[in-house]
Structure 1
Amino acid sequence: MLGQPVAAERQSIGIFGQWGAFRERQPPRCFAIAQPVRGPRPEGWQPFASISYWPQRRVAAQVHFRMSRQKRQGSAILLRIDDRTFQLAGGGVNAWAPDSRADGEIVRALRMGVGMSIETRSIRGTLVRDYYQLRGAATAIDAAAIDCAQRR
C-alpha cells in the first residue's frame, strides 16, 4: 500500500521479559531485540541489541548492536556476556560479530546469560558502556527463528 510507513510492515511476534521478537515483510526477516537498561541516551537514534534471521539470504542468528554513542576510530568494541568477552567489528554507532562463527558463539552465550554489556570509547574519548538484561532473550530468539522458518 503506497504511503504506508515502514513501521506498518513490522509485526510483533511477542514480548518475552526484556526482549521482543518481530517480523518484517520487506525484506523478509525476523529478529529478537532489546534496548539497554542502563547507559547514555542519545538523541536521534535508539541503541539496541538484535539477533536477526534473513531466510532469503540464508542468514540465521546474526547479531547487530547499535551503541549509544559513536565509536572513536581505532577503538575496540567489547561485548561482555556474564564472564565471557567478545571483540566486535563495526564503526560509527553499529557493531557486529566479525563472522558467522562468532555470531553463533555470541548467541549461545546470550541464551544462557544473565547480563550483557557493550563498551567502546566515544569520539570524545570517554568510555561508553550500555547494559542489557538477558531475561527473555532465549525465548525471543527462538520465537524469531521459528516464525521465519514457518514463513519459508
Structure 2
Amino acid sequence: MIGKVFVGALVVLLVVAPHLVRAQTPKEIGSYRAWRAYVYNEANGNKVCFMDSEPADTEPKNVRRGQIYTLVTHRPGDKVRDEVSIFVGYPFKEGSTVKVTITDKEFTLFTDADSAWNYDARGDKNMVNAMIKGNVMIVEGRSKRGTNTRDRYSLSGFTAAHKAISKACGVK
C-alpha cells in the first residue's frame, strides 16, 4: 500500500513540478516612499502586478505578531484590478470585521484567518481611490484572543506605486 501511495505522489510531483518551475519570482519595479511595486508571471503565463507596504506604526506594542502588510494587486488575465488584501500577523476573531479609515472615509472588510478583504470589486475600487487621495490609512481589528489592534500606514508614494503596477500590467 505504501508503495502505491509513493508512486502516486511521485506521478503527481512529476506532473505538477514543471508548472511550478515556470512561475517567476516577483521582480521589483520600484520603491516609492512607503510602497514597493512588483511584477511576475504565474505558472499559467498570466501577469500579476502588486504593490505592498508595512505599517509605520502598530498598537499595542507589547503584542507578538507575524508579518503585517497591505497589498494592492492587478491580475488582468483574471479581470482583477485593485484587489486590496490586508494581513495582520494574527488570526482574527471568527466572524469579525476590520475597520479601515482613510482620511474621512471608512471601509468595513471581512476577515479570513489572518487577512481582511473588501466584499466586492467596487469596495476595492473605492478604497484604492481613497488611498490615492489620502495621507494615512488606519486598520483596526480584533484577534482570536480578543486583543484589539490598530495599524497606521503611510500612503506616501501610494499613487506612484499604483501608477507603476498599472503600467506594468497594462491596466487603465
TM-score range relative to shorter protein: 0.7 to 0.9
- Structure 2: distance between partners of 1:140 and 1:54: 16
Cα displacement string for residues 48-91 of structure 1 (whole angstroms, at most 9, x for unaligned residues) = 11110001101111111111322111222111111211000122
2:71 — aligned with what? 50
Q: Name the SS for the 1:106 alignment partner.
A: helix
Give, in whole Å, the separation in 2 of the partners of 1:47 and 1:41: 11
Given that 1:72 and 1:121 are in contact with CA atoms closer than 8 Å, whether structure 2 keeps it comes out as yes
CA positional deviation for 1:41: 5.5
Any idea what SS the aligned residue of 2:90 has? Answer: coil
Q: Partner of 1:68: helix, strand, or coil? A: coil
Q: Percent identity over the alignment?
A: 28
Structure 2, unaligned runs of 5 or more:
1-17
- After alignment, is 80-89 or 34-43 more displaced? 34-43
In structure 1, what is the equivalent of residue 100 of structure 2? Answer: 79
Structure 1: which 4+ aligned runs deviate by more than 4 Å?
A: none
Matches within 5 A, 1:34-113: 34-39=53-58, 42-43=65-66, 46-113=67-134
8 A contact 2:96–2:111 mirrored in 1:
no
Unpaired runs of 5+ residues, structure 1, are: none
Which is helix-richer, 1 or 2? 2
Looking at structure 1, the residues matched to 64 and 166 of structure 2 have their Cα atoms a distance apart, in angstroms, of: 30
Aligned CA RMSD, in angstroms, stands at: 2.2
- For normalisation by structure 2, the TM-score amounts to 0.78
Report deviation, 1:13.
Answer: 0.5
| 2:35 equivalent to 1:19 | yes
Higher Rg: 2
